[in-house]
A and B are shown apart, each in its own frame.
Chain A
């Protein structure tokens, strides 16, 4: 059972702050590190894997500072985001080399076991340069698992994977978490994270925006006010009908045509909109969210 602890950690590069006063505890089980691109997820994983010195604060694994302590890698398996591997080796040679570098007593059998776990035994004797993106990801995974670490850190592991490979990796991560390992993976896709992780840590613009059970995070994200632009056969009539419903906080006619609506209760709004339009005899021509980008969702989380 291993615990990674970040205590008021900041990291800046010259005058750019990548991580800003983040405190979090990552314990056994699967934790998802969620945030938009550029939020500081990779920086956090670098800090947690001892590859970056915190500018302020401390990062520890079971109480031991991670920076400049190679012995910590006995307990850590790292799957970096970058795809580069030792392309001139076969998958088996690569995983075997990783096992040997860990000083395992029987690197050959450890490599075989790790390759079997990620279902790469069939392709293990092919040169890595011939592997698909998903196969590379799995070999990276095998190299991280070969020494049976208690901590597994994965940076955007689902990037570039096809749905089948994605399902397989999700299952693998769930299993690792159920075995009591501390598994942390980063992603910018909420659906991806909530399928695997019970615990979610949200980072936005280098700040720790939210932390908790995926259900709570999901509610935070979907219950926020949503803005839509509607175009219809009679915008004014539709606006007055919508304002009569408690799910709508505001509606305004746009000078260039169309109607801008702010919905307070997303779930109710999507149900009553078509019904109200039909009742009023108004034809809906367009319904488009104006701030559905993940960035705006995260921005909302930061503001709350």
Chain B
């Protein structure tokens, strides 16, 4: 990891207008948790809808997408990433340093709010709130690696990321049971189920060992591939 790249990336993500979105999304999640607690009361069912559905299913991938695209895409699009790449630093170090910043944003603006929303809705059983946070932590790492790889792959990484989240994780994942084997949200659900003390049942179920292993393979594999992509970064002039 390179401290200078981390610092520059943090400024890139927090200093831009889309940084505001990073704050709004978790605020909406926490506000909704407060409203549900007041109107419908707390409990595993309320938590499943708000924390599992909105937090894990929507806020986390969107925050990861915004953060990851903010640290990669503008520099890739305008070519200024060349100032990071024309240095005696491995391209994998560049990817890891940037991904660490994006993952940090996912933790600060999605995992922590998920923990807070979880505690608001399961104050009697905080173990479930921590289980959701653990699931979110794993999913945050997976989404960051996935979106980082997409950012090195295409100029349309944000669109591709949105399509992935909405279609694959959202629509197809709900319709086709087999998708759970290759779905970040379902892996996270398996972790929540295994650590939630019996208060959460993922359906259909997926072994937690598989979920953790799949997350690790995805994070390591896609980070490696993103580094390989940056090794082939093409410095094109106007010709």
Chain A interfacial positions (CB closer than 8 Å to B): 18, 37-43, 45-46, 49, 51-53, 68, 70-74, 76, 78, 80-82, 84-86, 88-89, 94, 97-98, 100-103, 143, 155-156
A73 to B235, CA, bound (A): 15
Residue of A nearest to B77 (CB): A84
Q: Is the CB–CB distance between A70 and B12 below 8 Å? A: no
A49 to B5, CA, bound (A): 21
Q: Is the CB–CB distance between A41 and B239 below 8 Å? A: yes
Nearest Cβ in chain A — how far from B8, in angstroms? 6
A289 to B167, CA, bound (A): 62
Q: Is the CB–CB distance between A46 and B86 below 8 Å? A: no
Q: Which of B65-73, B88-96, B99-107, B198-206 contacts A (4 or more CB under 8 A)?
A: B88-96
Q: Is the CB–CB distance between B239 and A101 below 8 Å? A: no
Q: Across the interface, which residues of A come within 8 angstroms of B85, CB to CB?
A: 51
Q: Is the CB–CB distance between A84 and B80 below 8 Å? A: yes
Residue of B nearest to A37 (CB): B239
A98 to B89, CA, bound (A): 12
Residue of B nearest to A45 (CB): B237
Q: Is the CB–CB distance between B232 and A43 below 8 Å? A: no
Partner of A70, one of B5, B7, B82, B90: B90
Q: Is the CB–CB distance between A100 and B4 below 8 Å? A: yes
Partner of B237, one of A42, A53, A70, A76: A42
A155-B237 in contact given A88-B12, A101-B2, A101-B4 (Cβ < 8 Å): yes
Partner of B91, one of A70, A98, A102: A70
Q: Across the interface, which residues of A come within 8 angstroms of B88, CB to CB?
A: 70-74, 102-103
A-B contacts besides A88-B15, A102-B88, 14 pairs, CB < 8 Å = A38-B239, A43-B237, A45-B237, A46-B234, A52-B234, A53-B232, A70-B89, A71-B88, A81-B237, A86-B12, A101-B4, A101-B83, A102-B87, A103-B88
Q: List 10 tightest A-B contacts by C-beta distance, closest first.
A: A42-B237, A84-B78, A51-B235, A84-B80, A82-B79, A101-B87, A100-B4, A81-B237, A46-B235, A42-B239
Nearest Cβ in chain A — how far from B68, in angstroms? 18
A72 to B87, CA, bound (A): 8
Q: Is the CB–CB distance between B11 and A88 below 8 Å? A: yes
Q: Across the interface, which residues of B come within 8 angstroms of A98, CB to CB?
A: 83, 87
Partner of A42, one of B78, B82, B89, B238: B238
Q: Is the CB–CB distance between A46 and B237 below 8 Å? A: yes
Q: Is the CB–CB distance between B86 and A49 below 8 Å? A: yes
The contact sample of 27 A-B pairs, CB cut-off 8 A, is A42-B236, A42-B237, A43-B237, A43-B239, A45-B237, A46-B236, A51-B82, A51-B234, A51-B235, A52-B234, A70-B88, A71-B88, A72-B88, A73-B86, A74-B88, A76-B86, A80-B235, A82-B79, A84-B80, A85-B83, A88-B11, A89-B11, A97-B4, A100-B4, A101-B2, A101-B5, A102-B88
